[in-house]
Structure 1
Amino acid sequence: MKCFSAPCSVIPFDPLTCYVRPERRVTVARVLEGRVGDRVASAESGGRSVKLAEFLVKAISPSYLYLVIDHEWPGSTAAVRESWRAWVGTVVIPCHSKLDILEAALRATNHLGTTRHAMLFCSSQRTLEIFKMVRERSLESSTLQWVVALEGGDLMPALGHVLREGTQVTLFVRDLADVRHHVVWSSYIDPSDTIQFERRGAWRAEDEDQDDVSLDGWLFPDLNRFYQDFRGRQLVAAVLNNWPFFGLRYLPDGGAVADSGLDVSVLDALSSSLNFTYTVKEPSDGQWGGPQPDGAITGIIGMVASHQAHLAINEITITASRERVVDFTLPYFLESTILVSRAPAPKSRAFAIFYPFSPLVGVLQAGLPVPSYTNRVKLQVFQELAVNRTGHLQIKMLNAIKLQLQGMSQIQIHLNFRSPFGSWQIWGLLAASTGLMGPIVWVVAAVLRSISEHRDKLDLYSLKTKVAHISLQESAFNMYGSLLRQENMIQVNRWSLRILFFLWYIFCNIIYAIYSGTLTAYLAIPSFEQPIDSLNDLLEATQDGYVPLFLVGSSNEFLFKAASSGIFHQVWKAHDPSSSFSYTIDDAMDMINYAPLWQVLEGKRVFVNARLGSLIRATIRGRHKFYLARQTMYPQGYAIVCRSGAPYKRNFEKMLIRMTELGLVDKWTQDQVTKVPRASGSEGHKTRLRAPEAITLHHLQGAFYIMSLGFLLATMVLLGEICGYNCLTCEP
């Protein structure tokens, strides 16, 4: 295995890197047959081919060059030698080699942002086969420019049918009448969406070292300038009926036209600025779609990848899997993903009397989420992403939209508790304190009575009359009555008992004030079930029968499905294949609160979806019926999908950046928000806290439960006493 040291020789070996000079390297792809230099040494007399090869390398000044050459072409060595002199990274591939080698070489450098050139010096039949391979394997690229040398122009019509937009080709067609004369043609797309060739000049090889060149501009057209004006061309846009982003209006003949939405405004602005018209087309499966494990590409992504549409726009999230089959512009809209569930149901008031001493989890459903360190970090990442990808922040706009939408709904205070029976430590201490206070008073009184009996000189007549005859049961009952603000029947004239009663009265007043005030607040303001605010809450809720809900073919489905570990993977494992998927956002929002009669998961679904669309649809259906989680996740950017290698992508990006910088995207978004209709059941809702409710039997059911329990217990004790009395009085 060797590396060539001279630019005019090519030695066969497996692909590797050979350093011709320390500063420059030439990569030679696998050459399957013999030493090319030996075979073409006798053909170097073809000076015209040599001069053409030298001219092309000098004219295009490539930074990276692919030479696809025929063994018998006289200019092969000249092309390699000239690229070596120009210090150009060159890949030499014989025309007869497998097309897979050329495909691998093209894909290996496809990520480079610099312009690459490929020179084809092959037979007409092989040239046509190469461009068919480029079409079938979607190797179009706006950074790859092809130069083809042809013998005569018979191949041009067939080549025009094979080429697709994104493959830029310049032809040097030799004039059969004058072999020194070459006509230069360049491909372009005409308004009828077909590939045509435009004559750009001529090249003629002279006997001297100088060439006669007459070109109308450059060998390759300036694509940025060319696509500044589409000349009235009609494009096909793949969309879904998904207002507020892209709403469709259906015609009587079954067709559809763009109606209103944020993305409609964006596309209208692009068409007006770049002078093109568009028609809309929906995918047959009704999905956003993307690459599938079986190799198929579904949805509107598949329509663009298969060249059924020129672009796709409709709340389309940029994902790594989709970028492998289509090209995305820079994002023009940023938002995050949230969890949407049914509104927490009011908690039962049966045990409201225990709530004042319960561990409280309070949630104020207002304009902005409760600030936390996690949310601040996510917001910072969200802002940095917006700056890096579009150069424009949209955070203020998103907050304003959220406030405006939530202004249509009623702000509620959600009071949630881990246990309706409260903290057993507090209730245990209260019971123990009340139970011990009676015996303590009884013991102190007994001690005082014992002292008076042994000291006749002390006047304890009053003490004996007031305390001596109080039993333990009476003492305990009076202490319990003091806790409930009842009058204490025990009267004392000794300071030891007075101090004990004084401290007990203070303790009872504090407990009574705290309990009664807090209980009044709980009875007046409704309490609700624990809401689902994060993915961890969703995992806990799955134990109660909740399941996550995804849109079929959406980026969220692909994201959770592709996760192999972590919280996303755990959530995906909890999904139910029969009830965790919906084809439209509207159906998903309806499934959150309602379900068919044959399903038992009514209200047991948590929708994973983007925030803006969910918030608008919740407002339309009644904001009070839904709960939007406070924690957000997975910031996602929406972009326009273009065909792989689409040359007009850069012009789209320039216009999108200009729109965002001018604030047009923000304005169009808020224009759609103002169109949001209110639900009939929430017209009277105001953005203020709910006024305290009047106390009803529903609030006091706990007190009646206790009274009923007391009656039952007293009845049982009475029956026991009667039975005991009968047993004692009955004769043997």
Structure 2
Amino acid sequence: MEVCVFVRNKVDSFNFYYNHKSSNGKSKLELVNWWTIEDKLFQHPLLPPTEKVYQNFKRRVFRIPVVHKPPWYFVSYFNDSEIESVSGRDQKLLDLLASKLNFRLQPFDPPDHSQGSAIVNNTMKGVLGTIWLREVEIFIGDLTVTYERSQAVDFTFPTLIDNEAFLTHAPGYLSEALALIRPFHWKVWPPVLLTIFISGPLLFIIIKISYLFNISYNRPSQNDSFQLLSDCIWVSSAIFLKQSCLVPSDINKVRLVVVVLYLGATYVIGDMYSANLTSMLARPARETPISTLEQLAEAMEKNEMQLLAELHSASHGNLENGTGLYEKIWGMMKKQHRYLIETAEMGMQGMQLVKDNKHYALIGGRETFYYNTKRFGAHYFHLSEKLHTRYSAIALQIGCPFLQNFNKVLMQLFESGILAKITEDEYQKLVEEKKIEERKVETVAEGKQATEEETDGGQPRPMSMATLSGAFVILSIGYSASVCLLFIELLLHKIKLP
């Protein structure tokens, strides 16, 4: 309760007592101003300015809930319940605020290790629920600003500009045995076959027109015309099959058409195939990655992809309250055996699931995923495109009197580049830790495993028997086609016999 008391201590003087202008958090009536008939108010305005009062918290202690979520918080526990130490990007930010505004931090392990998404049935789960109930005053930890959350808490100036994204398993290599056939995509076959089928009759038409307009040649009979058409089709097929053939005409224009057709078949179709084949053998083809929300919905519908989200997170709220494609994905998620990760700590289990199984995906903040992929091995994962921009901030109680003081310090840290610097420091620390771990790898088995991981990461690798087996696949297809054509010729020969 906010109380202001006016006390008349003399005939022409008043004292003013107020209970909310105390930076140490103790709500007691204190003398803040007085008035006399000669001097009027001692200071203006009547009550002390809020920003001036909260410039110094006088070593006030704030209980801060912390949840282990790298790189924002690194929490080590003692006896699985008591916090032994806290570090990370958000802890550094709080230390800077505490140093500037002169307050102290007392971290504690919250009973519910989730953030909280919205007020439902006059209750709110997660850490934000404790702020809404005014049990806790401050919370920071990759906390995304949403409309539903702003109904329960106040947010400061953004501490991070992030993006929504989802994480999937890295696309696997396609079969090397089919590398020789893969350049012949189904979209290539229609124009190639159309060219082959048109070339023969087109050659026949050119020859017929030449006979019609040139009286020096004897006009062929009907049977000869049928034979000529057959020969033209055979010549065009032989050209595309790289076989030797005899042009069924002495007309120069026909020979020119055949030469152009031969050059097109050899240097266009043949060279394009050779170029595609060379590139595929040099760097084997991979499966199509899932990068957009539309591709994710299609994979969930057709390929049994399962999407996971952290309970009471901003991503959970977007899916649950979203419309259109989000609504469709949320409906498919609810049919899964498991679709929510209970706590932030269990988010590491979600990363492990995505790493080990290509049928799982994880949705959340892109910065968090980027950091965790570095920890688990970036070559195991594929990060999607940015879905939408999201802002993280510090959560305070509604009507918090020192909100402007926090905003002022945060804007100074943002403009000076310190916010970006402490974030980069966590990534740099991760790189140094990985180098130390790599130096410890000395056994032969671990060395082989590291080599395999580098190979899977898209590095160049030597050709194997699996790649060479594609030549035998092509050879078997050719033999099969030859046998089929032989039987067709024998069948036609028997039909022509009397």
Pairwise TM-score range, normalised by the shorter structure: 0.7 to 0.9
Kindly indicate whether the alpha-carbon contact (under 8 Å) linking 2:58 and 2:103 is maintained by their aligned counterparts in 1.
Answer: yes
TM-score normalized by the length of structure 2: 0.79
Q: Give the aligned partner of residue 92 of structure 2.
A: 265
Secondary structure in 2 aligned to 1:675?
helix
Q: Give the aligned partner of residue 104 of structure 1.
A: none
Kindly indicate whether the alpha-carbon contact (under 8 Å) linking 2:203 and 2:254 is maintained by their aligned counterparts in 1.
Answer: no
Q: Give the aligned partner of residue 647 of structure 1.
A: 401
Aligned to 2:365, which of 601, 610, 616? 610
Aligned to 1:495, which of 252, 263, 273? 252
- Aligned CA distance change for structure 1 residues 201 and 540 (closer, same or farther; 3 Å): closer
Deviation of 1:543 (Å)? 2.2
Matches within 5 A, 1:199-210: 199-200=31-32
Q: Summarize deviations over 1:133-181 as a string: whole Å, max 9, x none.
A: xxxxxxxxxxxxxxxxxxxxxxxxxxxxxxxxxx4x2223578xx9999
Matches within 5 A, 1:281-320: 281-320=108-147
Q: Give the aligned partner of residue 291 of structure 2.
A: 533
Q: Give the aligned partner of residue 516 of structure 1.
A: 274
Kindly indicate whether the alpha-carbon contact (under 8 Å) linking 1:257 and 1:280 is maintained by their aligned counterparts in 2.
Answer: no
User: Structure 2: how far apart are the matches of 1:551 and 1:694?
Assistant: 42
Aligned to 2:326, which of 568, 576, 587? 568
- Aligned CA distance change for structure 1 residues 570 and 638 (closer, same or farther; 3 Å): same
Of structures 1 and 2, the larger Rg is shown by 1
Q: Give the aligned partner of residue 348 of structure 1.
A: 175
Secondary structure in 1 aligned to 2:333?
coil
- Aligned CA distance change for structure 1 residues 181 and 657 (closer, same or farther; 3 Å): closer
Stretches of structure 2 that go unaligned for 5 or more consecutive residues are 439-448
Deviation of 1:340 (Å)? 1.5
- Aligned CA distance change for structure 1 residues 211 and 472 (closer, same or farther; 3 Å): closer
Specify which structure has the bigger relative contact order, considering alpha-carbon pairs within 8 angstroms and separated by 6 or more residues.
Answer: 2
My pick for the range that moved more, 326-335 or 532-541, is 532-541
* 1:504 paired to 2:282: no
Deviation of 1:502 (Å)? 2.1
Whichever residue aligns with residue 641 of structure 1, its letter is: A
My pick for the range that moved more, 290-299 or 275-284, is 290-299
Deviation of 1:231 (Å)? 1.0
Whichever residue aligns with residue 296 of structure 1, its letter is: T
Deviation of 1:271 (Å)? 0.5
Deviation of 1:514 (Å)? 2.3
Stretches of structure 1 that go unaligned for 5 or more consecutive residues are 1-130, 132-166, 205-209, 359-420, 456-466, 595-601
More helix as a share of residues: 2
Q: Give the aligned partner of residue 418 of structure 2.
A: 664
Kindly indicate whether the alpha-carbon contact (under 8 Å) linking 1:438 and 1:477 is maintained by their aligned counterparts in 2.
Answer: no
Secondary structure in 1 aligned to 2:466?
coil
- Aligned CA distance change for structure 1 residues 184 and 506 (closer, same or farther; 3 Å): closer
Kindly indicate whether the alpha-carbon contact (under 8 Å) linking 1:435 and 1:476 is maintained by their aligned counterparts in 2.
Answer: yes
Aligned to 1:708, which of 476, 491, 496? 476
* 1:542 paired to 2:310: no
Whichever residue aligns with residue 626 of structure 1, its letter is: F
Aligned to 2:26, which of 194, 201, 209? 194
Deviation of 1:294 (Å)? 1.9
Identity %: 23
- Aligned CA distance change for structure 1 residues 435 and 619 (closer, same or farther; 3 Å): farther
Kindly indicate whether the alpha-carbon contact (under 8 Å) linking 1:434 and 1:479 is maintained by their aligned counterparts in 2.
Answer: yes
RMSD: 4.2
Kindly indicate whether the alpha-carbon contact (under 8 Å) linking 2:24 and 2:59 is maintained by their aligned counterparts in 1.
Answer: no
Matches within 5 A, 1:202-601: 219-251=46-78, 254-256=81-83, 259-349=86-176, 351-356=178-183, 358=185, 421-433=186-198, 436=201, 479-488=236-245, 495-509=252-266, 510-544=268-302, 545-563=304-322, 565-576=323-334, 578-582=337-341, 583-584=343-344, 585-594=347-356
- Aligned CA distance change for structure 1 residues 216 and 241 (closer, same or farther; 3 Å): same
User: Structure 1: how far apart are the matches of 2:359 and 2:489?
Assistant: 52
- Aligned CA distance change for structure 1 residues 353 and 237 (closer, same or farther; 3 Å): same
Kindly indicate whether the alpha-carbon contact (under 8 Å) linking 2:22 and 2:53 is maintained by their aligned counterparts in 1.
Answer: no
Whichever residue aligns with residue 361 of structure 2, its letter is: V
Secondary structure in 2 aligned to 1:574?
helix
Deviation of 1:512 (Å)? 1.8
* 1:633 paired to 2:397: no
Whichever residue aligns with residue 103 of structure 2, its letter is: F
Kindly indicate whether the alpha-carbon contact (under 8 Å) linking 1:249 and 1:257 is maintained by their aligned counterparts in 2.
Answer: yes
Q: Summarize deviations over 1:167-207 as a string: whole Å, max 9, x none.
A: 4x2223578xx999976432257787432222346679xxx
TM-score normalized by the length of structure 1: 0.56
- Aligned CA distance change for structure 1 residues 675 and 187 (closer, same or farther; 3 Å): same
Q: Summarize deviations over 1:237-278 as a string: whole Å, max 9, x none.
A: 122111111222323584225533221111000111111110
Kindly indicate whether the alpha-carbon contact (under 8 Å) linking 2:306 and 2:361 is maintained by their aligned counterparts in 1.
Answer: yes
- Aligned CA distance change for structure 1 residues 224 and 434 (closer, same or farther; 3 Å): same
User: Structure 2: how far apart are the matches of 1:538 and 1:314?
Assistant: 28
Deviation of 1:534 (Å)? 1.7
User: Structure 1: how far apart are the matches of 2:56 and 2:232?
Assistant: 99
Whichever residue aligns with residue 466 of structure 2, its letter is: H
Secondary structure in 2 aligned to 1:346?
coil
- Aligned CA distance change for structure 1 residues 438 and 233 (closer, same or farther; 3 Å): same
Kindly indicate whether the alpha-carbon contact (under 8 Å) linking 2:201 and 2:232 is maintained by their aligned counterparts in 1.
Answer: no
Whichever residue aligns with residue 31 of structure 2, its letter is: R
Secondary structure in 2 aligned to 1:287?
coil
